[in-house]
Amino acid sequence: MSIHPTAIVDSTARIGSGVEIGPYCIVERDVVLGDDCHLATRAIIKQGTELGPRNTVHEDAILGGLPQHSNLPERIGRLKVGKDNTFRENITVHRGLHHDEYTEIGDNNLVMVGVHIGHDCVIGNHTVLINNVMLAGHVTVGDRAYVAGGAAVQQFRRVGRLAAVGGYSRAVKDVPPFVTLDGNTSGVVGLNRVGLQRAGYGAEDLRDLKSAYRLIYRSGLAWNEILKRLENEFTKGPAAEFYSFFAGGKYGFMPERRTPNSATIRLYRADGAADDARDTQAKAG
Q: State the pLDDT at residue 227.
A: 97
Q: State the pLDDT at residue 266.
A: 53
In angstroms, the CA 98 to CA 119 distance is: 9
Q: Which of 96, 203, 197 has the alpha carbon at shortest distance from 144?
A: 197
Q: Which of 204, 203, 225, 205 has the alpha carbon at shortest distance from 216?
A: 225
From 77, 94, 120, 183, active-site residue: 120
DSSP code at position 195: H
Q: Which residues pair with 188 in a beta bridge?
A: 181, 256
Q: State the pLDDT at residue 260.
A: 54
Phi and psi of 196, rounded to 5°?
Answer: -65, -45
From 38, 94, 119, 138, active-site residue: 119
CA distances in angstroms from 144 to 13, 31, 162, 196, listed in the order given = 32, 28, 5, 10
Distance in angstroms between the alpha carbons of the first and the last residue of the chain: 69
Phi and psi of 224, rounded to 5°?
Answer: -65, -35
From 34, 65, 77, 137, active-site residue: 137
Q: State the pLDDT at residue 263.
A: 55
Whether 77 is catalytic is no
Q: State the pLDDT at residue 164.
A: 98
Q: Residues 31, 37, 40, 45: what is their CA dihedral angle, to the nearest 10 degrees?
A: -10
Residues 6+ apart with CB under 8 A from 280: none
Tell me the torsion sign for CA atoms 239, 240, 243, 245.
negative
Q: Which of 179, 259, 157 has the alpha carbon at shortest distance from 170?
A: 157
Q: Which of 28, 96, 29, 17 has the alpha carbon at shortest distance from 53?
A: 17
Rounded (to 5) percent helix, strand, coil in the chain:
20, 25, 55
Stretches where the chain sits below pLDDT 70 are 259-285
Classified as helix, coil or strand, 260 is: coil
Whether 120 is catalytic is yes
147-188 pLDDT, tens per residue? 999 999 999 999 999 999 999 999 999 999 999 999 999 999
Q: State the pLDDT at residue 276.
A: 40
Q: How many of the other CB atoms lie within 10 Å of CB of 75?
A: 9
Whether 137 is catalytic is yes
Q: State the pLDDT at residue 265.
A: 57
**Beta strand pairing call for 188-191 and 179-181:** antiparallel
| Top-tier CATH class for 2-196 | mainly beta
**Cβ–Cβ under 8 Å, residues 7 and 26:** yes
CATH 1.20.1180 fits 202-284, yes or no: yes
CATH 2.160.10.10 in the chain: give the residue spans.
2-196
**Cβ–Cβ under 8 Å, residues 160 and 144:** no
The one-letter amino acid at 161: R
CATH 1.20.1180 in the chain: give the residue spans.
202-284
